[in-house]
Each structure stands twice: as C-alpha cells, then as structure tokens.
Amino acid sequence: MERTARNIRYDKAAEALYIIDQTLLPAQEREIRLETAEQMYDAIRLLRVRGAPAIGICAAYCLYALARTIDAPDMEGFLEQLKAYSAYLNSSRPTAVNLSWALSAQLETAAAHRAEGREAVLEALYEKAVEIHEDDMAKCKAISEYGLSLLKEGDGVLTHCNAGPLATSRYGTAQGPFLLAAERGMKLRVFADETRPLLQGARLTSYELQKGGVDVTLICDNMASLVMKNGWVQACFVGCDRVAANGDTANKIGTSGVAILAKHYGIPVYVLGPTSTIDMACPDGDHIPIELRDEEEIKTLWYEKPMALPEVKCYNPAFDVTDHALITAIVTEKGICYPPFTESLAALFAKG
Ligand code: MRU
C-alpha cells in the first residue's frame, strides 16, 4: 500500500511535513510545509487541514516532527516537552475526537519505547504516524464498501460538509461510497449542501466529486428540503466528528437539520465514520464539546463586501449534534450498526 496520500504528506528523506492548504481550494491546490508548533496549531485551527480523520493523521505527524526538535537533557524532560506539544495541538479544535485520539496514541507510543532511548522513540513515533495514516486509508475503503452496499443504481443521495479524501486519507467516509461507485461505473446523483458558513460542501465536496467523475449537484443548505420533497433523494450520507456511546453524533453545523428534514420525508440518514471517531467514554451528545468560531466567518470571510454591519452579533457554532433517534445506521470500517446504538456500538468495540 502507498505510504502517503496527497492531502497530508510526510517526506521522510527531507523530514518535512506537507499538507494541501484546504482554505485555498478550489481556486488553488497548493501544498504548504508545517515546521513550527505554531504553524501546526494554526493549520488545524484555521482549517488548512480539516475533517476529523485528517486532523488526527496530521496531528500524529506533527507530534513526531516536533519530537525531533526537542532538546532535553534526559528522557523525563523529553517526554514532558512532548506532552506539552500534545496539549498545545489538542487545544486547537475541541470537537473532533480524532485529534485527542491520535495525540494520545503518540504519547502512549513514546512512553512504551522510553527505555530504548531517544532515537528509538522517534522511530516509533514516525512508524505510529504512518500506521495511523495507512489504517485510515484501509478504514475509508471498508466504510466506502459498506456505505455503497446501502445504495442502488440511480439513487439520489444528499450529503453535507466534506467527508471525502481531503477530510481523511483516501476515498473518504460519507463521500467515499460515491467515489467508489464512480470507479465501478455505478450511477448515483449526489446533492452536495454548500455548508454555510465555511462552504466545505461547495469548495471541497463538489470539487472532489466533480473531479472523481460523480454526478454532483451543488445546492444551498436551505434547498435541501425542496430537493427531498421532489423525491430526488433516497438517502442522506453524512460524516461525523464525534459519536457518543448512545449514537448521538456531532458533525458539521446543519447536519441535524438535514436529519430532521429527512425524517419528515421518510428518507434514511446514515452516519459514516471510522471507529476512531466513536467516543465510548462520552455517554451522549450533551457531553460533546461544541466549537464556537469567529463571527467574521459569517459576516466577511468569503465576501468582497461585508454581509452585515460590523456591530451585528453572530452566533457561529461549528458543529451540531444529531439525535440518535434520527439516525438510521452508523457505518464504520467494522460494519454497520443499527439502533439501539448503545448496544450495537458496544458490541462493535467488544469485537476488538
Ligand atoms: O470544521 P470541519 O470542516 O473540520 O468539519 C468537518 C466535518 O464536520 C466532517 O463532516 C467530519 O469531520 C467528517 S470528515 C470524514
């Protein structure tokens, strides 16, 4: 299997970490190099790299790259500094559990190899980052296969935000089945919500699906209801940033609205994501931290002229929680979980 995918690339010979700056898409597909802790924090915070699995993969490489720069007299000091870098990166975004999951995996890796010395710890950190990256590729492929098994030729599917290759490693989660279908010559009609306010659906999903040969139609978020009423949608496929043990799911703001509309029109809602996005320590959606972002994202960010007076107050939560009762199934790399999710998710983790 290839060792890197293009949205996040670690060049081992040059010991250099690159990401595609997603904020420049679709106008420019440009790689940027991340060298300092501040650049890494900003890349995650400002969504240059985004999407729950991609954030986790990137953070794993970041911690390895930062570990290489630690100049501590002993292992104790080295691990202390590594923990401090991990806490700093972890504070960049609160909702996607993959970030803390990948950073914890790296800290555990370092601790497990501490007796072997600094070089062995560094090597283990690099190998772990590659493993997280390659595992995600395999998981996305499996999720895409399971997701595609829920669709049939000619189906219309509505999706929200971006959960394609840019948000993961390859294929993606919620958008992986569409790319897989296109590869196999199976025809689907995908409706991509533009996903206000940061327009991941317009800038990233329609870009990836169009380039991947998928029949994609971009709609504004407030058109989803009409598209469903017209009978053009047979299923909704959405990604996830954190799934609680009872199935409540945090995903991009607007996802719960899509699920509520879908219930009205009798359309199934599938959440697709790797098990690394399921937080069994989190009992329900009320315990998921929701990121609040800058009001300028609503008022000025994508516009030539301000869209509101500077003094107008804005509320800009980046995610909402879709109640488990609105979710038809949760599709993971290990299989498809149906309600009651408290039982089916627990059974999934019990399998190991
Ligand atoms: O704020 P973002 O763009 O990082 O939010 C991303 C999403 O909500 C995605 O749907 C989710 O991370 C799944 S990515 C496979």
At 247-271, the pLDDT tens digits run 999 999 999 999 999 999 999 999 9
Q: Is residue 96 lining ligand 1, measured as CB closer than 6 Å? A: yes
126-149 average pLDDT score: 98
**pLDDT, tens digit (0-9, with 9 covering 90-100), for 72-83:** 999 999 999 999
Q: What is the pLDDT of residue 2?
A: 41
- Please tell me whether residues 156 and 118 are part of one structural domain: no
- Whether 153 and 276 share a structural domain: yes
Answer yes or no: is 2 within a domain: no
Question: Which of 346 and 3 is assigned the larger pLDDT?
Answer: 346
Q: Are residues 74 and 179 in the same domain?
A: no
Q: Is 202 in the pocket of ligand 1 (CB under 6 A)?
A: no
Same domain, yes or no: 289 and 151: yes
**Together in a domain, 110 and 252:** no
User: How far is the centre of ligand 1, averaged over its atoms, from the C-alpha of 332 (Å)?
Assistant: 16
pLDDT of residue 104: 98
Secondary element (H or E) of residue 297: helix 296-299
Please classify residue 262 by burial: count the beta carbons closer than 10 Å to its beta carbon, then call 0-12 exposed, 13-18 middle and 19+ buried.
Answer: buried
% of residues, the chain, pLDDT over 90: 97
Give the total number of structural domains in the chain: 2
List the domain range (segments joined by +) for residue 58: 8-140
Residues 121 and 192 in one domain: no
Answer whether residue 1 shows pLDDT above 80: no
Residue 167 Cβ contacting ligand 1 at under 6 Å: yes
Structure tokens that stand for 162 in this block: 């971006």
Residue 328 Cα to ligand 1 middle (Å): 20
Q: What local confidence, expressed as pLDDT, does residue 352 receive? A: 72
Distances in Å between the Cα of 247 and the Cα atoms of 115, 142, 197, 277, 318 are: 40, 20, 26, 11, 19
Paired sense of beta strands 278-279 and 319-322, if any: unpaired
How does pLDDT run across 36-47, given as a tens digit for each residue?
Answer: 999 999 999 999
- Active site annotation includes 241: yes
Ligand 1 atom with minimal separation from the 173 CA: 15
Looking at residue 206, its amino acid is S
- Whether 126 and 164 map to the same domain: the answer is no
Place of tokens 């703001």: 253
Residues 6+ apart with CB under 8 A from 246: 283, 284, 285, 324, 341, 342
Give the ligand 1 atom nearest the CA of 160. 10
Catalytic residue among 241, 248, 279, 320: 241
Question: Same structural domain for residues 202 and 102?
Answer: no
The candidate with the shortest Cα–Cα distance to 259, out of 243, 270, 272, is 270
With a cut of 80, say whether residue 3 has pLDDT above it: no
Which pTM does this prediction carry? Answer: 0.96
- Residue 305 belongs to a domain: yes
Tell me if 168 CB under 6 Å of ligand 1.
Answer: yes
Residue 187 has pLDDT above 70, yes or no: yes
Is residue 4 very low, low, confident or very high in pLDDT (cuts 50, 70, 90)?
A: very low
Same domain, 277 and 132: no
Q: Is 163 in the pocket of ligand 1 (CB under 6 A)?
A: yes
User: Do 228 and 320 lie in a common domain?
Assistant: yes
